[in-house]
Amino acid sequence: MKEYKVVPCQGKIVADSEAVVNTQIGALAGVIAQELVGGWELVTAMPIVVATTKKRFKGKELPYNALVFARELIKDEDGI
């Protein structure tokens, strides 16, 4: 059986140079690498828009990505 977890990450990069873009994308790779150390495997990434209010024109909408990770549950001596 697997367990899953979702890790939010930025969904938009604002950059004025290619170096900044590479740094930001490298940071995303760092998030993935950090989760791999814990035995998690990246399953998928999906975009999510976070709204500050239900009213469309009165609030802000912020883009994020949800990184979905999975790993096998560790069974104890009883097999549970």
In sequence order, which residues have a C-beta less than 8 Å from that of residue 54 and are 6 or more positions away?
A: none
Mean pLDDT of 46-68: 84
pLDDT at 35 over 80: yes
CA distance 30 to 9: 11
Structure pTM? 0.73
Mean pLDDT over each residue of the chain, to the nearest integer:
86
Q: Residues 19-32: pLDDT tens digits?
A: 888 888 888 888 89
Q: Which residue has the higher pLDDT, 14 or 65?
A: 65
pLDDT at 10 over 90: no
